[in-house]
Amino acid sequence: MFFGFYPVVKHTVRIKGEQHELYDVVGKDAVLFHYQVTEDASSMQPQYVAQTRLWLGSMWSTISHEVEV
Q: To which H or E segment does residue 51 belong?
A: helix 45-62
Separation CA 33–CA 44 (nearest Å): 13
Residue 42 pLDDT: 87
Q: To which H or E segment does residue 32 belong?
A: strand 32-34
Residue 49 pLDDT: 93
Q: Which domain holds residue 9?
A: 2-62
Q: Structural domain tally of the chain? A: 1
pTM here? Answer: 0.60
69 within a domain of the structure (yes/no): no
Q: How many residues does the chain have?
A: 69
41 within a domain of the structure (yes/no): yes
pLDDT for 1-45, tens place per residue?
A: 999 998 899 989 999 999 999 998 888 888 999 999 989 888 899
pLDDT for 41-65, tens place per residue?
A: 888 999 999 999 999 999 999 998 8
3-state secondary structure of 37: coil
The phi and psi torsions of 45 (rounded to 5 degrees) equal -60, -50
Residue 14 pLDDT: 94
